[in-house]
Structure 1
C-alpha cells in the first residue's frame, strides 16, 4: 500500500506545485504582455509619423496646384466636401493618396471673414502691384527721338500686362489670405487645436487614431468644448494615444515659400513705383530744359539782331564821320570839334558791335549747354523708363510663377 502511494506521488505534480507553476507563468505572461505593449508603440510610431508627413506634403502640394487648401472629406470615399460643415476626414482621393490614409482626421481653417483657407482667393496682382500708375507716363514730345518713344511704349505695355494679371488667381493671392490669418489669429471662428482651457490657431491639422484605431480626447468630432482637434504632442496615456500634426499659418507660409515670394513681389513692385515716381519728376525737369532751349534760342536770335543793329549803327557813324570831315574841308576853318565828335561816334558804334558779338557768342554757348542738358535728361528718362519696365515685367513674371518652383 505504501509502495503504491509512493509510486503515485512520484508520477505527477501536486495541486500546490501546479498552482505555483501557473502563478509563475501568469506573472511571466503579464510582464511579457506589458513589454510587448510598451515596445509596440515606439516601433509603430515612426510609421505613423511618416504617414502624417506624407499626408502633409500632399496637402501642401495641393496649394501649389489649386491655390487653396483642400476641404475635408465627409466620408471615407476620400473626396473633399466643401459644402459640409462637419467633415473631418482627410480627402485622400482628392489628394491622390491611397485608401490607407482614409483613417486620418483632417481639419482646415474655414472661419473668419476673408480667412477661409479652403476657398479660392480673389484675384489680384498679389499683393504689391495693385498700384494705380496714374496719371499715365506721357510720351515725350520728341518725334525724332525714337529711343524715348520706344521706351515709353514699353512702359505702357508693362502697365497693361500688370493690369491684366489682376484677373488671374494664383498661389500668391492665397498667400495674401494666409498672411492676413497669421496677422489675425484670434479672429472668432478660426480653426483651433487644443482644449476648452487653451488652444492655438492652425492652418490645418492631421490626426492619426493611434494603435487602438479610435480617436480620443478633443479629436472626437463634436467632443467636449466643441473642439475637433487636440494639442499636437499631447502626452500618451491609457485613454489617449492619438498622434497629431498641426501647421500654423506662419509656419505654412514659410514652408510653401509665401514669405519669400511675397517679399520678391514687394521689392519688384516698389522698384517699379520708385522708377515711375522718378520718371514723373524728371519729366517736369525735362519740360524746364525744353523751356531753357526755347529761351536760349530766343536769346541767340536777339543777340544776332543786336549784332546787326550795332553794325548798322557803326556804318551810320562812319558815314557821319566822313560827312563831317568833307563838310569841314569845304568851309573856312576846320571844325576840330565836329570831327572829334564823329570819331567818338564811330568808336562807340564799334564797341557796340563788339559787345553785341560777345553777347551772340555767349547766347550760342548757352544754347548748346541747354541742348546738352536736355539730351542728358532725355537719356535719364529713357533709363528710368527701362528700369520701370524691367521692374514691372519682373513682378508680372513673379505673379505668373506664383508658388511654382
Structure 2
C-alpha cells in the first residue's frame, strides 16, 4: 500500500507540474489480461499500479491499437534552389576587376557590393550626370530671368512657359542620370562600377579574379538563399498518379536526420526520356548545411492509402526504458511495459514492426510520466 501511495503521489505531482488535465474513460473490457498472478504489480519490474482516477488526473491519454498505417514510398531526391532563391551576379559592363570583397562560401546581403569593375562606362555615367546637372542649372537661371521679365511686363507669357518647359525637361534628365549613376554604383572618382548581389544568401560559385578583364554579361558569382530551397523527386510512371499536391513527405538526410516536408506540386506529364514525373517538395523549415545538388532519400505518403498489414501509433507512446523502446500497455490495475520494434516515423506517428498486437490499449499523451515514475520506483527498490 505504501508503494502504491507513493506512485500515485508522484504521478499527481507530475501532472500538476505540466498543467495538463484530461478526462479519459476507463476501458475495463480491453485491459491487458497479463496481470502477473504472483506478487503485486508494484513489485514486478515494468509494472505500475494506478487507478482510473489517477490516470485521468495525470492527463494520460489512452488509445486502442488498430491495424493500418499510412503507405510510404521511398524515392531518390535532389535538392535544388527555387526560382526565387538563386541569383546570378554578372558584369554589367566590360572592364577590369579592381577589387573583390566576397568569395566562395561568404554570406551576402541583398544590394551588398561584392566586387568593383573599372570601366569606361563608369566615366560615361559620371560625365552624363555632370552635364545634365550643368544644363539644369543654366536653364534654371534662364527661367528665373524670363519670370522677372514677365512680371515687369517686358516679355510675353509664351516666353515664360517655354523657359519653364525647357527647365522641366532638364530636371527630368538629371533624375534619369542620377538613377543610372546610383544603380551602377559608380565610385566617387567616377572610374569603377559596383557589382552587387540581387538577394541575400551564400555565394556558391565565384569566377571573379582580381585584375581580370571581363565582358558585359560574364558571370562573376552565383548566390543561393538557403531558406528558398526545394526538393525534386523523380516519380516512376507506376507511382506518379498516386502522389498529389499536399501529400506529406519526409527527407532522410545523410547524417540520419529526418526532416518533414510536403508535396507542393507534381508535373502533369512524364519526361519523354526518363518516363517519370517530378514532384516538388517544399521544406517545412530551412536546413543548415543543405546545398543545391545534394542527393537525398524522400519518403512520400500518398493521401488515403493505408497498409492494413502494419500498425502505427503516436510517437509520444514510445518511450526508452533502460535502452529499450517500450510502450505502456493498460492492464486491469494500471500499466505494464511492452518492448517494441519501431520503424519509420512520419506525421507524428511511428510504425510498429513487432512487439504489439491490435486491440491493446496503450498510453499516449504524457506517457513520459509513467516512464519517470517507473524510474523512481526502480531507484527505490535498488536502494
More strand by share: 2
The structure showing larger relative contact order (alpha-carbon pairs under 8 Å, at least 6 residues apart) is 2
Same fold (TM over 0.5): no
More helix by share: 1
Task: Report TM bin, short chain.
Answer: under 0.3
TM-score normalised to structure 1 length = 0.19
Query: Larger C-alpha radius of gyration, 1 or 2?
Result: 1
TM-score normalised to structure 2 length = 0.20
